[in-house]
Amino acid sequence: MAQYDIIVIGSGINSLVAASIIAKAGKKVLVLEAREKIGGLASTNEFAPGFQCNAIYDTLKWIDPRIIKELQIQSQGLELIEMDIKRIALGEKENKHIIFHKDPLLTSDSIADHSREDSKKWIDFTTHIEKLTKFLEKLYQLAPPSLPDIGLLDALSMRSLLGPLMGQGPQGLVNLARTAPMMMPELMDEWFENELLRSALSTAGTHGLSYGPYASGTGYNFLHQHLHSKGIIHNSSSVKGGTGAFPAILNNILSSNNADVRTRVKVTSINIKNNVCEGVTTLEGEEILSNQVISGLDPQSTFINLVGNQNLDPSFHTQIKNIKYRGSTARIHFALKDMPKIEGVNEDQMNTVFSISPSMEYLEKASDAVKYGFISENPYVEFSIPSTVNPEFSPDGKHVLTASVQYAPYHLSDSDWDQSSKEQLKQNTIQVLEKKIPDITKLIENSVVHSPKDLEDEFGLTEGNLNHGEMTLDQLLFMRPTASSSQYSTPFKNLFLCGPGTHPGGGLHGMNGYNAAKKVLKG
């Protein structure tokens, strides 16, 4: 019977980061992945003959700087492509777009075409956001304190917050406490008047959520998307070779540290005896012993499906069942015969992210689909053309357009996610795209739709939620995933968590995995 120091379940970015940090420390590590290939939400796949796509994320918003330094992932071959244009918010009128540049002065110039007053406030706004995220950057590097019983060690671990506190004074912390619970309209009311700008910024606050901009806590989500951005709004980078290059490099690091990575191995149970985790059992019936197990799966999958209800304390079982998932993001990949043309956008500007949301009211109305369980007629669509950055994604002269579509609720009120409902979502998305790309229908050679149900089936995401649980105020920090399992540990000795369902939440930043690994190594 095989014996390891650490078994890591899943091979998403957090799982691979945790495994890499621990293997680098000299531990015997085994990574188990149910799918044919590693990478999880960072996968790059072929979706039509000759056409590739990034499964979920076309860009990286930020990566934990500690991972870059400790694992030296860039010297290992991870090449981040930083564009001068970060995003283009497409306006309703021709040539009336807002272009978000790396250089905030250029962004200010673009905003001036819509509102001189807003343009004057832009630099101050970016500085304000950068100051707020400084607190979160330090907070995110810590395991949440054990509330309500904060001990001396918990208090000492939070001393890194003194840096931004000394730099900004108490007012900085007050501003963070004010902003985090805000609705996006409240935050925007303090700064801007132009509706396209207000909406374009609000999309960051609703990113990955089932809620619209009028929900409390969307201010916090806006900040979460802008960590380590140095005040650059809508900051992101593309990955040379696609996002799949990131897990591939982590896999190489694991190999160089003698870790084992096995694919097509589905874990069917986490073995618990007397509240102690002893290893796992696979679908083939193989029992693998381990001193410790780290799950990169979401809390529902980890505790209900693998640990099993019979091993859960009733109170903890209730906490796990009360976690809100409500996946509402779909992905649609289009194989195009040619480069699409967007009025007011030059061909050399096509290698960025585009958003279609003319107003906050448009976003809020689109979010009604989740409230009532229907497919939005006018969804919020964010799209990019990854083949402009990675030409190997498509045959010569052809291109890939990938759309992230909100709001596509996991729970439909009067139907299931089948071919008919997915076709309806695709056609509604095409209608939105046609307003900006009139010839899009003629260009489509092939397409594939991934509904939230498809994402659940393919990646094991409960209700198709990309963040392993909603990023809402009641499911953050010391309450993520629950108050009794918020420090990457669990009620079971030797069982730990590292997925996006833990602090600090979703994305391909790897911070959850890094924090979890340090927790495990600390003992």
Where do the CATH 3.30.519 domains begin and end in the chain?
326-459
**Per-residue pLDDT tens over the stretch 202-261:** 999 999 999 999 999 999 999 999 999 999 999 999 999 999 999 999 999 999 999 999
CATH 1.25.40 fits 326-459, yes or no: no
Determine the 3-state secondary structure of 172 from DSSP.
helix
Where do the CATH 3.50.50.60 domains begin and end in the chain?
3-42+62-78+242-324+473-522
Pick the CATH number of 3-42+62-78+242-324+473-522 from 3.40.630.30, 3.50.50.60, 3.40.50.10540, 3.30.420.40: 3.50.50.60
**Per-residue pLDDT tens over the stretch 111-158:** 999 999 999 999 999 999 999 999 889 889 888 766 555 554 454 455
Enter the tokens of residue 186.
Answer: 């409240």
- Bridge-based pairing state of the strands 495-497 and 98-101: unpaired
Token pair 């448009």 is found at: 362
CB 347 within 8 A of CB 192: no
Per residue of the chain (523 residues), give pLDDT as tens: 679 999 999 999 999 999 999 999 999 999 999 999 999 999 999 999 999 999 999 999 999 999 999 999 999 999 999 999 999 999 987 669 999 999 999 999 999 999 999 999 999 999 999 999 998 898 898 887 665 555 544 544 555 555 655 566 677 778 888 999 999 999 999 999 999 999 999 999 999 999 999 999 999 999 999 999 999 999 999 999 999 999 999 999 999 999 999 999 999 999 999 999 999 999 999 999 999 999 999 999 999 999 999 999 999 999 999 999 999 999 999 999 999 999 999 999 999 999 999 999 999 999 999 999 999 999 999 999 999 999 999 999 999 999 999 999 999 998 999 999 999 999 999 999 999 999 999 999 999 999 999 999 999 999 999 999 999 999 988 899 998 898 999 999 999 999 999 999 999 999 999 999 999 999 7
Q: Which of 66, 74, 34, 81 is nearest to 253 (CA)?
A: 74
φ, ψ for residue 32 (rounded to 5)?
A: -115, 125
CB 436 within 8 A of CB 90: yes
How many Å apart are CA 333 and CA 52, to the nearest integer? 9
Residue 100 pairs in a beta bridge with: 87
